[in-house]
Amino acid sequence: MAKKKKKKKKADKQNAIKIILSTDKESDEENMDEEDEEGEGGIYLEKDDVLLIYNALKNYKPGTDDEEMTYETLREQFEEILIVDYKVKLPGVRW
């Protein structure tokens, strides 16, 4: 008997958060607003996806000072998304 693989459904835009990935170092909020209006860039992530990324970040150990700064920024942003947008109560995090 063959097992059926579950197909991952596309993230429903109403139940997902759009993450805009910046490729330019000079990218500012104005440029991001323009991209969003044009419908370019970004990806929709559901709660499970954001939680998976957050848990991976939480267990990651940065090696350099530059990496440490990026790590802290990303971890805080994902915490904020989970707490504010998805109403998740994270252990050890007070908001």
pTM tops 0.85, yes or no:
no
**Whether residue 26 has pLDDT greater than 60:** no
Average pLDDT over residues 51-66: 94
Strand segments, DSSP code E, in 1-95 are: 17-19, 43-45
> 33 burial class (0-12, 13-18, 19+ CB within 10 angstroms)?
exposed
Average pLDDT over residues 53-75: 94
Which range, of 8-12, 31-35, 73-77, averages the lowest pLDDT? Answer: 31-35
> What are the boundaries of each domain within the chain?
43-89
Confidence class for position 43, pLDDT limits 50, 70, 90: confident
Contact status, residue 45 vs residue 16, Cβ threshold 8 Å:
yes
**Whether residue 59 has pLDDT greater than 70:** yes
